[in-house]
Amino acid sequence: MINLADVRRPVIAGLKSYTTHTVIMADTTGNQPSYPFYTLKVTLTGQGIGQIAEAMDVEMGLSSIEQDTEMILSITCHAADIEEAHDLAYKARSYFLGKGHIELSDQNITVVDALAITNRDVFLNIEYERRYGFDVRLRMRGQESFDAEVIENIEM
């Protein structure tokens, strides 16, 4: 099983450390931090990659399955100025292509790809909130163990 918090925490901590800006989950309640800041949103979770591998430990009566799983995170930089939003989005993307690739691999998270940066501006009342962002594809190995009944003998 893959726990979302086990992916979210190291991504937020690493991105915040690398960029020195606040990183919050998108679409949550609470006060908005001051500009600039990043939001993170999970847009795809649990996409199985490849075949499921099954194993059984007969002595312990446990069966397990494991499969590589892909997750897509949407990273958006919010800023008051369009150039700052762009530049900080680029810095965040660089994190995943460089230092983050190494740091996250220590948490058994593989950075598959950081997609193109796109404009994500939004119109507020009478002005725009400047946003640039990108999606990042991550891959983890999900594993689940469960009790399995073992048939020890059959009478005929």
pLDDT score of 154: 75
Beta-carbon contacts of residue 39 (< 8 Å; ≥ 6 apart): 23, 24, 25, 26, 75, 76, 78
Q: Pick the residue with more confidence: 132 or 152? A: 132
pLDDT of 56 above 80 = no
Q: Pick the residue with more confidence: 38 or 28? A: 38
Q: What is the DSSP string of 29-71?
A: -SPPPPSSEEEEEEEEEEEEEEEEEEEEETTTTEEEEEEEEEE
pLDDT of 151 above 80 = no
Domain boundaries, the chain: 4-42+72-135
Task: Indicate the CATH number for domain 4-42+72-135.
Answer: 3.30.70
**Mean pLDDT calculated for residue range 50-63:** 70
pLDDT of 97 above 70 = yes
